[in-house]
A = this chain, B = another copy of it.
């Protein structure tokens, strides 16, 4: 199986590296920036191309690891070259049908993970979701997905968007709660690191039990005295977070008798 990758960011880098390690031949990295494309291509033992020059049209699959907004313009620019290639994008929210105007064989390949440049994720633990524009394309994309991870799911476009939404809660929103907590302890001169063991234990507990079962704390037990202390503190010292505290507490325990916001 021979593939090329469009993009030079975190998803392109980590997917490219994984596929290379799994014995997939990475032919080209295609990028707007020739320098960036050359840099990543070099790391993967591939050649590089820009949208206007040197593109290898003979690959089995093309992975568009670009931003959501760039998908249509990239599709348009590469349409004529890849009519016999299976083209997938890696977006959580964009429909695979966004590729229909440009390609005959298309689909999606969505690893549910947050990628950053310096962290090497363990793909053996990352679920990869895919779909394809025909059962033949889907079967081919499944093979590609299975080279990336042992855990693959075929999933429709709408369901992938829902999965991405769940990802926003556990990744982006959770990270924001960490940021709020960092602001709170740092106001008191304490390092954020004092919270790390608690953060890690919170994750450990939901590995074997549902989060609903593991819920504890003042809201869960209806401890209004503590909740009022916390809200007074927030309102006085760091008021941008008191609404979040209220809404999450009431959502955890709708029987709480707070002044609803």
Contacts and interface: CB of A to CB of B under 8 A. Distances in A.
B173 A177 contact: yes
A118 to B, nearest CB: 8
A234 B126 contact: no
Contacts of A175: 202, 205-206, 211, 214-216
Interface of A: 68, 93, 112-114, 116, 119, 121-122, 125-127, 151, 153, 159, 161-182, 184-185, 187-188, 190, 192, 194-207, 210-212, 214-220, 223, 225-226, 229-230, 233-234, 240-241, 243-245, 247-248, 251-252
A201 B114 contact: yes
A63 B172 CA distance: 39
Given A169-B181, A185-B162, A223-B68, A112 B197 contact: yes
Given A175-B206, A176-B251, 5 more contacts: A116-B214, A168-B230, A173-B177, A174-B174, A177-B177
Q: How many copies does the complex hold?
A: 2
A93 to B, nearest CB: 5
28 contacts: A68-B225, A93-B218, A112-B194, A119-B205, A126-B197, A161-B229, A161-B233, A163-B190, A165-B184, A166-B184, A168-B217, A168-B218, A168-B230, A169-B180, A170-B178, A170-B181, A171-B198, A171-B202, A171-B217, A173-B177, A173-B245, A173-B252, A174-B178, A182-B210, A196-B206, A240-B251, A244-B248, A244-B251
Nearest to A162: B188
A163 B230 CA distance: 10
Contacts of A166: 180-181, 184-185, 195
Contacts of A218: 93, 168, 172
Contacts of A162: 184-185, 187-188, 233
Contacts of A194: 112, 127, 151, 153, 163
Given A170-B178, A200-B203, A112 B248 contact: no
A247 B251 contact: no
A68 B57 CA distance: 69
Contacts of A165: 184, 230, 233-234
Contacts of A248: 173, 176, 244
Contacts of A187: 162
Contact of A170 (B188, B198, B211): B198
Given A163-B194, A188-B162, A198-B112, A176 B215 contact: yes
